[in-house]
Amino acid sequence: MTESTTATISQSGLAEAVFEESGQNVNLCYQCMKCAAGCPISYAMDYKPAQLIHALRLGMDDLVLNSKTMWLCAACETCTTRCPQEVDVAKVMDAVKIIAVRRGIKPAIREVGCFNRAALANIKKMGRMYEVGMIVGLKMRTLALFKDMKLGMKMFMKGKLKLLPSFTGARRTWRIFQRVKTIEKKD
């Protein structure tokens, strides 16, 4: 078990913001590299998870906030599960994304930011994910109009895509989104 001494947070503004957002203290990290070794996506990242954690500790806030790493993270939770210091690395990834967006920093992997926004807009309006609508929303945002066109057509032919949206719970969901926004503003 890790004894978390929450009083000793680093000087870095971002590390502290991450702590506020996620309850994760990156100063517990002793750079064993297990998170980097197990991360299936680290090959495509500009900084491996352990490096991102270290950069946070060193106060390299700009580097972290503009990194591709957290936007490529697939939230597979391998790092979180294996960290001997019980740093929830996946939660840190989420926290850095949330803070970056809050500070108006454009996601280094643009499509992922677009996807998140398109998906949430879809859920907010519909209550349930309506894939066809979400895909259209994503294409409008990324302008990658023909990406996966063939695949989409085939899925459609196989009856894998729902033609009509369901609006079950749409109003309730919309209200949850609104209330969450109000509570977060208050905080």
Query: What radius of gyration do the chain's Cα atoms show?
Result: 19
Contact residues for ligand SF4, defined by CB under 6 A: 29-35, 38-41, 49-50, 53, 73-79, 83-85, 87, 89-90, 93
Under the criterion CB under 8 A, does residue 26 sit at the interface with another protein?
A: no
Least CB distance from residue 77 to another protein, whole Å?
4
Position among 10, 108, 133, 162 found at the interface with another protein (CB under 8 A): 162
Task: In whole angstroms, give the CA distance from residue 115 to residue 127.
Answer: 17
Q: Which is nearer to another protein, 63 or 161 (CB)?
A: 161
CB of 138 to ligand SF4, least distance (A): 21
Q: How many residues bind another protein (CB under 8 A)?
A: 58
Cα(173)–Cα(125) distance, integer angstroms: 8
Judged by CB under 8 A, does residue 46 bind another protein? no
Which residues are CB-neighbours of 117 under 8 A, at least 6 positions away? Answer: 141
Burial 148-187 (b: 16+ CB within 10 A, else e): eeeebeeeeeeeeeeeebeeeebeebeeeeeeeeeeeeee
* Contacts with another protein, 70-109, as mask; x by CB under 8 A: --x-xxxxx-xx------x-x---x--xx--x-------x
